[in-house]
């Protein structure tokens, strides 16, 4: 289908818009070209059959169970320290290239004895990747903050060096035991001075029990570490209730809520990370048009637009903003305010927020 001039202009505007990404899984954000290259290497070594893996990677439409089978495959491709470092570097570079000015990237610290990998060494490899980004300035620690901020992104298309704040969230995988989940929270505490600022609960939503992770999530709360929880990807009534009662700082997805739960969510004012393409592709929402974004947006519920797994779902944050505009008819000003609003839900401290507010104010003066 031919792209109209208006669509092209709007897509470019969405790329230039400064954006905040709060829900992106590291291993779900890997470029297909990198996955194919890694699969080729492992195929040559006889570890996997390249042609089989290639077909799976290139397949576009995936159910939720298929996604989780694919993650297991990704983890085979990405389990060595150098590869983890490489993908962390690439993923940050890709987000910065489309004017994401603040990125919270989440990843599950992994133990892999065969590779000599511990949760800590996995995370060290991620941090190494973030520090090795060359084409853009990555601000990983608050001490890097300067008051003489140059604009981090520029809607006039100026070619200033881009700058991106990056923070890390450690994910607890729903397959983990209570003790492994507690290890992840303790690791987050240990790595506080290395850009780790929060805990996420994710993984296959039909696996595991809320009671298994609750001690770790409560431990995070006691330590003052913010949490974000994947909630309602499937209609598990008891669990959705428990998650809403836990009152995390943010919730991801919230697809399958019933009337009472919607009411409870709306009165809680817990910010929601909205992942349009992901929800439609995995069946959490029946279509873009019928996605719960519209209801929450009209109710003025705090929202941030996110990608979830930009590699897996072949999307980008700019594309997600474009879909909001084209599906729900938001104007550029409304879209801008939506992007700007996400600054208030970041887990980083007030200094970073102040700096991000300034970025959006400058951009508003240029574009609105
Ligand atoms: C739930 C998801 C997810 O941690 O290895 N993950 N969990 N729902 C989703 N929606 C489709 N997308 C990704 O990144 C991959 C891991 O993130 C979680 C899964 O646990 C997946 O294995 P990391 O970097």
Residue to substitute in 28, 29, 86 for testing ligand 1 pocket (most ligand atoms within 8 angstroms of CB): 28
The secondary structure element, H or E, covering residue 264 is helix 259-268
Q: Indicate which residue of 233, 239, 273, 320 is catalytic.
A: 233
Average pLDDT over residues 285-295: 98
Residue to substitute in 25, 83, 112, 281 for testing ligand 1 pocket (most ligand atoms within 8 angstroms of CB): 25
pLDDT 10s digits, 240-267: 999 999 999 999 999 999 999 999 999 9
> 117: which DSSP letter?
B
Q: CA–CA separation, 203 vs 67, rounded Å? A: 10
Ligand 1, atom 9: closest residue by C-alpha = 203
Distance from residue 237's CA to the centre of ligand 1 (Å): 21
Q: CA–CA separation, 95 vs 237, rounded Å? A: 35
Please report which confidence band the pLDDT of residue 150 belongs to, taking 50, 70 and 90 as the band edges: very low
Q: CA–CA separation, 234 vs 145, rounded Å? A: 41
Q: CA–CA separation, 17 vs 203, rounded Å? A: 31
Hey, which residues does 230 pair with through a beta bridge? 252
Q: Are 339 and 321 contacting, i.e. CB atoms less than 8 angstroms apart?
A: yes
Residue 157 neighbours by CB distance under 10 Å: 8
Q: CA–CA separation, 265 vs 268, rounded Å? A: 5
159 vs 149, which has greater pLDDT?
A: 159
- In this prediction the ipTM stands at 0.99
* Token pair 């590779």: residue: 115
Distance from residue 155's CA to the centre of ligand 1 (Å): 32
Pocket of ligand 1 (CB under 6 A): 25-28, 67, 71, 107-108, 171, 173, 202-203, 230, 233, 278, 282, 308-309
φ, ψ dihedrals at 261, nearest 5° = -70, -35
Distance from residue 203's CA to the centre of ligand 1 (Å): 5
φ, ψ dihedrals at 133, nearest 5° = -65, 130
Q: CA–CA separation, 260 vs 235, rounded Å? A: 13
Q: Are 229 and 246 contacting, i.e. CB atoms less than 8 angstroms apart?
A: yes
Across the chain, what does the average pLDDT equal?
A: 93
pLDDT 10s digits, 197-243: 999 999 999 999 999 999 999 999 999 999 999 999 999 999 999 99
Residue to substitute in 127, 171, 187, 311 for testing ligand 1 pocket (most ligand atoms within 8 angstroms of CB): 171
Q: CA–CA separation, 57 vs 125, rounded Å? A: 24
Distance from residue 29's CA to the centre of ligand 1 (Å): 10
**27: exposed, middle or buried (C-beta count within 10 Å: 0-12, 13-18, 19+)?**
buried
68 vs 347, which has greater pLDDT?
A: 347
Kindly report the pTM of this predicted structure. Answer: 0.95
> Ligand 1 atom closest to Cα of 108?
4
Ligand 1, atom 6: closest residue by C-alpha = 203
Residue 128 neighbours by CB distance under 10 Å: 16
pLDDT 10s digits, 167-208: 999 999 999 999 999 999 999 999 999 999 999 999 999 999
**35: exposed, middle or buried (C-beta count within 10 Å: 0-12, 13-18, 19+)?**
buried
Q: Is 224 left (phi over 0), alpha (psi -120 to 50) or beta?
A: left
> Ligand 1 atom closest to Cα of 202?
7
* Token pair 């969405």: residue: 14
pLDDT at 159: 56
Distance from residue 308's CA to the centre of ligand 1 (Å): 8
pLDDT 10s digits, 318-358: 999 999 999 999 999 999 999 999 999 999 999 999 999 99
Which sign does the torsion angle of CA 120, 126, 129, 131 carry? negative
Please state the separation of Cα 121 from the chain's center in Å: 22
pLDDT 10s digits, 110-132: 999 988 999 999 999 999 999 99
Distance from residue 25's CA to the centre of ligand 1 (Å): 6
Average pLDDT over residues 294-315: 96
Identify the three-state secondary structure at position 35. Answer: helix
Ligand 1, atom 22: closest residue by C-alpha = 71
> 173: which DSSP letter?
E
Q: CA–CA separation, 163 vs 170, rounded Å? A: 23
Active site residue 233: yes
């Amino acid at each position: 289908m031919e792209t109209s001039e208006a669509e092209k202009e709007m897509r470019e505007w969405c790329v230039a818009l400064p954006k905040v990404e709060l829900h992106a899984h590291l291993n779900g954000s890997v470029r297909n070209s990198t996955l194919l290259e890694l699969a080729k290497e492992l195929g040559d070594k006889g570890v996997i059959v390249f042609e089989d893996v290639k077909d799976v990677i290139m397949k576009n439409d995936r159910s939720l169970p298929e996604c989780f089978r694919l993650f297991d495959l990704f983890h085979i491709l990405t389990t060595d320290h150098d590869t983890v470092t490489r993908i962390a570097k690439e993923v940050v570079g890709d987000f910065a290239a489309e004017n994401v000015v603040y990125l919270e990237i989440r990843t599950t610290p992994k133990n892999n004895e065969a590779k000599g990998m511990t949760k800590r060494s996995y995370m060290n490899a991620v941090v190494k990747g973030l520090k090795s980004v060359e084409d853009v300035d990555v601000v990983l620690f608050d001490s890097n903050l300067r008051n003489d901020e140059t604009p981090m992104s520029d809607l006039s298309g100026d070619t200033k060096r881009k700058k991106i704040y990056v923070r890390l969230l450690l994910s607890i995988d729903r397959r983990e035991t209570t003790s492994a989940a507690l290890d992840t929270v303790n690791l987050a505490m240990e790595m506080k001075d290395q850009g780790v600022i929060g805990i996420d609960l994710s993984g296959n939503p039909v696996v595991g029990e809320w009671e298994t992770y609750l001690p770790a999530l409560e431990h995070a709360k006691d330590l003052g570490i913010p949490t974000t929880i994947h909630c309602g990807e499937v209609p598990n009534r008891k669990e959705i209730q428990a998650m809403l009662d836990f009152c995390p700082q943010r919730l991801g997805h919230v697809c399958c809520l019933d009337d009472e739960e919607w009411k409870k969510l709306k009165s809680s004012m817990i910010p929601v990370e909205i992942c349009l393409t992901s929800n439609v592709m995995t069946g959490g929402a029946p279509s873009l048009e019928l996605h719960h974004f519209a209801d929450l947006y009209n109710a003025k519920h705090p929202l941030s637009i996110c990608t979830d797994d930009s590699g897996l779902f072949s999307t980008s944050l700019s594309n997600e903003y474009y879909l909001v505009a084209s599906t729900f008819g938001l104007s550029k000003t409304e879209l801008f305010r939506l992007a700007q609003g996400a600054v208030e839900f970041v887990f980083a401290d007030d200094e970073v927020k102040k700096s991000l507010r300034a970025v959006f104010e400058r951009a508003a003066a240029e574009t609105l």
